[in-house]
Amino acid sequence: MLPKFSYVRPDSLHEALNLLDNQNARVHGGGTDLLGCLRDEVFHTDTVVSLGAIDELRGIVQTNDGGLRLGATTPIAEIAEHEVIAESYGALRDAATVVASPQLRNQGTIAGNLCQKPRCWYYRGDFDCLRKGGELCYAYDGENQYHCIFGGELCYIVHPSDTAPALAALGAVCRVSGPSTSRSVAVEALHVPPSVDPQRETVLDDDEVITEIIVPPPAAGLRSSYRKVRARASWDFALAGVALAVVFDGDTVTTARVFLSGAAPIPWRAKGVETAITGTKLDAATISSASEAAVRGAEPLTKNGYKIELFKGLMTEQLEVLARRG
């Protein structure tokens, strides 16, 4: 059952920011994650501030320089179905298409997808684990088959978003507003690793909201993709996922940005893969060494060693797909 809280639905950003400044309030995009967290008492709030009636925060438009502006409250379904995104930003289209179920994609927003809370079953359950302010991580010696193989320290979640690694690979930037300031935060810098603070997921202050996400114009020769492997074929979070944004000059890779999902508490940049493929022609030998590089330095927990082979296979498959698109 949901606990009691006030629900407010301002129709301007100014009013929403004032409400967030003055009270112990939480932002509500589509509510698909927030309401589950409140119901399960992961955290509490007095006031839920919906952004749903603020027209300026919704929609997809092309920017003057040929990039894209995604309003924060744009439903994920609209992103999955947008023609320009399908043509020019394959990784984002692929990612939006595999988020949750059709109903959740209609209700869930792009900013909510970036800011959603982790899915660790201890955190969502009745355990006062470290991320909830307790002393212990129960997953470390417990049921950790869905947890991280990189970046674990104190807490071993994986970041649950599919769109975050895709947007990070594409070099997208969030515009963020607070009561008195605005700033830009690159998607790749939005999430906080547990080594910095195991109780925060993003760098946003409680009174800040993402208002829009800017995706830069696609470079000539850009090929991008996102694919995740999940336990259930219908809908599920990533066991392992790979987002690639690779720029080719003819057959040769000139730049590459590669992020993993299901791997780490934040979208995990696979710099070893980027180095392995930049300046090459993506032949079988290069792809093989890039796939090894994807898992170099991984530290699996007691029950998730299977992710190593999963990431290697997925990386091989996706690099082959991009090589063939030429």
Ligand X SMILES: Cc1cc2nc3c(=O)[nH]c(=O)nc-3n(C[C@H](O)[C@H](O)[C@H](O)COP(=O)(O)OP(=O)(O)OC[C@H]3O[C@@H](n4cnc5c(N)ncnc54)[C@H](O)[C@@H]3O)c2cc1C
Q: Site residues (CB under 6 A) for ligand X? A: 26-34, 36, 51, 72, 76, 99-100, 104, 107-109, 111-113, 115-117, 160-162, 204, 209-210, 235-237
Closest distance of CB 63 from ligand SF4, Å:
37
Count the Cβ atoms, other than its own, within 10 Å of residue 248: 21
Judged by CB under 6 A, the stretch of 10-18, 47-55, 90-98, 121-129 that binds ligand SF4 is 121-129
Question: Residue from 89, 138, 150, 311 that binds ligand SF4 (CB under 6 A)?
Answer: 138
Tokens of 139: 């997953």
Using CB under 6 A as the binding rule, whether residue 123 contacts ligand SF4 is answered as: yes
Residue 190 vs 270, nearer CB to ligand X: 190
Residue 137 binds ligand SF4, judged by CB under 6 A: yes
Q: Does 122 bind ligand SF4 (CB under 6 A)?
A: yes
Contact 203, 192 (CB under 8 A): yes
Spatial neighbors of 278 by CB under 8 A, at least 6 apart, are 253, 254, 255, 256
Q: x-or-dash pattern for ligand SF4, window 149-168, by CB under 6 A?
A: ------xxx-----------
- Minimal CA–CA distance to 311: which of 266, 276, 259, 265? 259
Q: Which does residue 139 touch among ligand X, ligand SF4, none (CB within 5 to 8 A, set by kind)?
A: ligand SF4
Helices (H) and strands (E) in the chain, counts: 12, 12
Shorter beta-carbon distance to ligand X: residue 163 or 291: 163
Task: Considering the complex, state which of residue 177 and residue 202 has its C-beta at the smaller distance from ligand SF4.
Answer: 202
Interaction partner, residue 247 (ligand X, ligand SF4, none; CB < 5-8 Å by kind): none
Query: What is the arrangement of strands in the sheet containing 173-177, beginning at the earlier edge strand?
Result: 60-62, 68-71, 209-215, 173-177, 182-186
Shortest spacing between CB 84 and ligand SF4, in angstroms:
37
Interaction partner, residue 218 (ligand X, ligand SF4, none; CB < 5-8 Å by kind): none
Positions of E strands within the chain = 6-8, 25-28, 47-50, 60-62, 68-71, 173-177, 182-186, 209-215, 222-229, 240-249, 252-261, 268-269
Give which of ligand X, ligand SF4, none residue 76 binds (C-beta under 5 to 8 Å, depending on kind): ligand X
What is the token pair recorded at 239? 């066991």
Tokens found for residue 72: 């924060």
Burial pattern 116-149, b for ≥16 Cβ within 10 A else e, equals bbbebebbbeebebbbbeeeebbbbebebebbbb
Min CB(51)–ligand X separation in Å: 6
Partner from ligand X, ligand SF4, none contacting 71, C-beta within 5 to 8 A by type: none
The answer to whether 228 and 261 are in contact (CB under 8 A) is yes
Q: How far is the CB of 131 from ligand SF4 (least distance, A)?
A: 4
- Map tokens 């400044």 to a residue: 21
Query: Nearest to ligand X by Cβ — which residue?
Result: 112
Contact footprint for ligand SF4 (CB under 6 A):
118, 120, 122-123, 129-131, 137-139, 147, 155-157
